[in-house]
Amino acid sequence: MIQWFPGHMHLTQKAIAERIKNIDVVIELLDARLPGSSANPMLAQLTQGKPALKVLNKQDLADPERTALWLAHYNALPGMRAIALDASMTAPAKALIAACHELAPNRGGLAKPMRVLICGIPNVGKSTLINTLMGKRATKTGDEAGVTKLEQRLALAPDFYLYDTPGMLWPRIIVAKSGYNLAASGAVGRNAFDEQEVALELLDTLRTHYPSLLEARFKISGVAQMTDEQALEAIGRQRGALQGGKSINWQKAAEIVIYDFRSAVMGRISLETPQEYAEWLAHGQTL
Ligand code: GDP
């Protein structure tokens, strides 16, 4: 079980509550591989029903079929839009600006500029996206950069202001499987989880949904019929994660599985669908 809530959230809550009055659209950056688990469940309440844009980030790592399911899921909800992005896109601003205008059609023009708050748990790619969005603009106006940093406000267009979240929006883990998925993705501090436990949970998902990717990567077969422990052992043997030349080094085998998932060398993998996530919330072990 993983529970990780490293403090100072109350300061962020207070700061968001103050900022929200003058915000038209709230962007929440989610990890496209685990959109449900990488969301902060407190955000809806904190942002008081403002129109919401969900950005499924790092889509280059995620399973495109599952990303499509998540986009459809969010786009069906009232007051919500969703788009998928990744850091390699050359002009992500266009889709993002268009979605915000759909959500707040009464905003635009210099008299009523669009004011957007961008939120996301650490490591979801917020700094990278802001840099990509700003492109040359961030560095061009030297003097203004100091001002915008102070105000945490960035002008994406003359009538489009992006506000960075004041403080840190930590993940709030409300269901056990989310904790494992967040740990597998790298969003939880190293010391907060046990690699073997996380690797076994990850293998459970991979054996069920991506057996051929797992088998191809580690040159093993029959993973669907194995237990998670047997799969981890087979991977460890295959990769030479042994101690004393013979018995399995479980820790090393676990690190290999987690590392290979994070770097997407197995292929594009998503750890949850909207339906699965809803089931975990309804029947899973809530924390
Ligand atoms: P922040 O904590 O939300 O500001 O996250 P960062 O912008 O620092 O990114 C965290 C890590 O994710 C870094 O190693 C980035 O290189 C990586 N990253 C960010 N965006 C993407 C993306 O779209 N695709 C991939 N594959 N990696 C990304």
> For ligand 1, what atom is nearest to the CA of residue 120?
3
Number of the ligand 1 atom closest to the C-alpha atom of 57:
23
How far away, in angstroms, is 58 Cα from ligand 1 center? 7
ipTM confidence score:
0.99
- CA-to-CA dists, residue 58 to 48, 63, 149, 162, 184, angstroms: 27, 11, 25, 20, 15
10 Å Cβ neighbour count for 287? Answer: 13
Which residues does the chain have with pLDDT short of 70? 1-9, 136-151, 285-287
The 8-class DSSP code of residue 165 comes to: P
Contact 162, 156 (CB under 8 A): yes
Nearest to 251 by CA among 238, 265, 241: 241
Ligand 1, from 86, 128, 129: best to mutate by most atoms within 8 Å of Cβ? Answer: 128
Q: Half-sphere exposure of residue 193, counting CA atoms within 13 Å on the CB side?
A: 31
**Pairwise CA distance, residues 46 & 142, whole Å:** 34
Q: What is the CA(226)–ligand 1 centre distance, in A?
A: 34
Distance of CA 26 to the CA centre of its chain: 16
Q: Which atom of ligand 1 is nearest to the CA of 86?
A: 23
Q: Which domains does the chain have, with CATH numbers?
A: 9-164 (3.40.50.300), 176-283 (1.10.1580.10)
Cα→Cα distances 87→70, 140, 160, 184, 187, Å: 19, 21, 21, 20, 17
pLDDT value at residue 46: 84
Distance 122 CA to ligand 1 centre (A): 9
With a Cβ cut-off of 6 Å, ligand 1 is lined by: 57-58, 60-61, 86-87, 120, 122-128
Per-residue model confidence as pLDDT tens digits over 172-220 = 788 999 999 999 999 988 888 999 999 999 999 999 999 999 999 999 9
